[in-house]
Amino acid sequence: MCRQIIRPIKLRNWFPAHDPLAASVARLSILREDLSLELFCGIKEDSIKELDGNSSGWRRLYFFRRSILTLDEIRRAIETLSPRTEFKDLLSKQGQAGKDEFYKLKRQMEEASSLLKDWRDKLGAHVLNKHVEVALQAMQPDREGFVEVEPTLKVVHYRFAGELVLDVLVPGLPEQNARPKFETEIHKILMLAPVIRLIDNIVGWYGKDRQLL
């Protein structure tokens, strides 16, 4: 049975000042932890009592929206990192499998960039009036949702907010068409989850190259 190893590191040794490669790796490390929390806790978990007051579906939708923002940040971080001479030198020292995995994931991130940017702008980073207005104008007249109000009024949940999010992201479609389209687009984005492993590879390459591991 493998035992988890936790050991202290000196951050200044790992990430020196005035070192663009170190800054890029540090940035990816932060984003990696964000995405891991969003995907494996916020989305994957069946139940998180403290966060499921509205519903587990709303909690998953919330973290999915956050993951769009994080994935787009990771895409931009990789775009910034890949042309750096220091990173090219680092990548050249890796085996063919490592290079292939890097370029495969980079290509997938690039192919998903339009969808990431679109959903980021609509509901990932902000909830803007203009996108909600477009959704309401295109909404099917028979769309329904739920509101939850306890008799004491101590608990109120707008369960219909999930329907609004669906219409903002895929506006103008009947529900029977909107959900399959939404799920198809979600699948495209969740296919980017292996980027977590890619970041782990980058941090490992960096650490070994600098004799930190």
pLDDT at 19: 96
Structure tokens at 52: 């499921």
pLDDT at residue 1 greater than cutoff 60: no
Q: Which of 96-100, 138-142, 173-177, 181-185 has the highest mean pLDDT?
A: 96-100
Tell me the β-bridge partners of 156: 149
Specify the higher pLDDT residue, 20 or 123: 20
pLDDT at residue 174 greater than cutoff 90: no
Q: Which amino acid is at 174?
A: P
* Range list of β-strands (E), 109-171: 148-149, 156-157
At 194, is the secondary structure helix, strand, or coil?
coil
Hey, CA dihedral for 114, 125, 70, 134, is it positive or negative? negative
Query: From CA 156, how far away is CA 54, in angstroms rounded?
Result: 9
Pick the closest to residue 116 from 75, 68, 80 (CA basis). 68
Are the C-beta atoms of residues 120 and 72 closer than 8 Å to each other? yes
Average pLDDT, the chain: 90
pLDDT, tens only, 119-161: 998 888 788 889 899 989 988 888 888 788 877 656 888 889 9
Mean pLDDT of 186-200: 91
Compute the residue count for the chain: 213
DSSP 120: I
pLDDT at 74: 96
Chain centroid to CA 158: 24
Name the band, by pLDDT with cuts 50, 70 and 90, for residue 69. Answer: very high
pLDDT at 122: 87
**What percent of the chain clears pLDDT 90, i.e. is strictly above it?**
61
Are the C-beta atoms of residues 166 and 178 closer than 8 Å to each other? yes
Mean pLDDT of 155-173: 88
Name the band, by pLDDT with cuts 50, 70 and 90, for residue 7. Answer: confident
pLDDT at residue 173 greater than cutoff 60: yes
pTM score, two decimals? 0.86
Name the band, by pLDDT with cuts 50, 70 and 90, for residue 29. Answer: very high
Specify the higher pLDDT residue, 103 or 187: 103
Are the C-beta atoms of residues 157 and 54 closer than 8 Å to each other? yes
Pick the closest to residue 123 from 171, 173, 62 (CA basis). 62
Query: From CA 22, how far away is CA 203, in angstroms rounded?
Result: 10
Name the band, by pLDDT with cuts 50, 70 and 90, for residue 52. Answer: very high
Number of C-alpha atoms within 13 angstroms, CB side, residue 19?
Answer: 17
Query: From CA 110, how far away is CA 108, in angstroms rounded?
Result: 5
Name the band, by pLDDT with cuts 50, 70 and 90, for residue 110. Answer: very high
**What percent of the chain clears pLDDT 70, i.e. is strictly above it?**
98
